[in-house]
Amino acid sequence: TVKQMPPCHEHTYNQRRYMRAELGALWKATSDEEIGMDSVIHSDETFTPNLNIFQDILHRDTFVKNFLEQVFQLKPNLSLRSTFLAQFLLVLHRKALTLIKYIEDDTQKGKKPFKSLRSLKTDLDLAAEGDLYIIMALAEKIKPGLHSFIFGRPFHTSMQERDVLMTF
Domain ranges of the chain: 1-58, 59-158
Q: Is 100 exposed, middle or buried (0-12, 13-18, 19+ CB in 10 A)?
A: middle
Q: What is the pLDDT of residues 97-155, one digit of tens each?
A: 999 998 888 887 877 777 777 888 888 888 888 888 888 888 988 888 887 777 765 54
Q: Look at residue 101 in the predicted model and tell me its pLDDT.
A: 92
At position 8, the amino acid (one-letter code) is C
Q: Is the pLDDT assigned to residue 35 strictly greater than 60?
A: no
The answer to whether residues 51 and 1 touch, using CB atoms and an 8 Å cutoff, is: no
pLDDT band, very low/low/confident/very high, at 49 (cuts 50, 70, 90) = low
Q: Look at residue 114 in the predicted model and tell me its pLDDT.
A: 75
Q: Look at residue 97 in the predicted model and tell me its pLDDT.
A: 94
Q: How many CB atoms lie within 10 A of CB 110?
A: 12
Task: Report helix, strand and coil shares of the chain as percent, to nearest 5.
Answer: 60, 0, 40
Average pLDDT, the chain: 75
High-pLDDT (> 70) share of the chain, %: 67
* Pick from 5-9, 66-70, 81-85, 133-137: least confident: 5-9
